Amino acid sequence: MATHKLTHLDDKGNARMVDVSGKPVTSRVAVAEGFISLQAATLRAIVAGETPKGEVLNTARIAGILAAKRTGDLIPMCHPLPIEQVEVLFELPEQIEDDIETVIRIQATAKIVGKTGVEMEALTAVALAALTVYDMCKAIDKTMVIDNIRLISKTGGGSDRARRK
């Protein structure tokens, strides 16, 4: 197993923010996804705009965008970044059937021209969008599960990561 130097600790083990001042400015894009499982009746209520707290998906989209913009405030060693674009998309099942698991796929894309990547911003956008769906639907569905939040791809900088299948 390879050993890696911990970038967020100094030689004495103290926490530190990584110095990116010497890195080149490049165009960077990160895509993340996550899933929320819910009852078919809950998804029907979301689609019909009949949830107790109001319009779920647009509220969750706004929460995801705001979360990406505030990632540096939420995660201690993340750099505050001037995000240039964030997109949060929801993929719903084509048919809603009571006997089939109902899952919403959430995908976030974050873009910047800068010295460090936007992976954490894309992941945070997905997480907060999913949490917002959960919060807005918890009164009608106690079975929801947020699952498998992960980075799908990243480009720019020195370590592009191929798209996950």
Q: Which two tokens stand for residue 79?
A: 């750099």
Query: What letter does residue 107 receive in the DSSP assignment?
Result: E
**E strand residue ranges, 39-125:** 85-91, 102-114
- Beta strand 85-91 with 145-155 is unpaired
Q: What b-and-e string marks burial along 106-122, b requiring 16 or more CB atoms within 10 Å of the CB? A: bbbbbbbebbbbbbbbb
Distance CA(131)–CA(125), nearest Å, equals 10
- Positions marked catalytic: 135
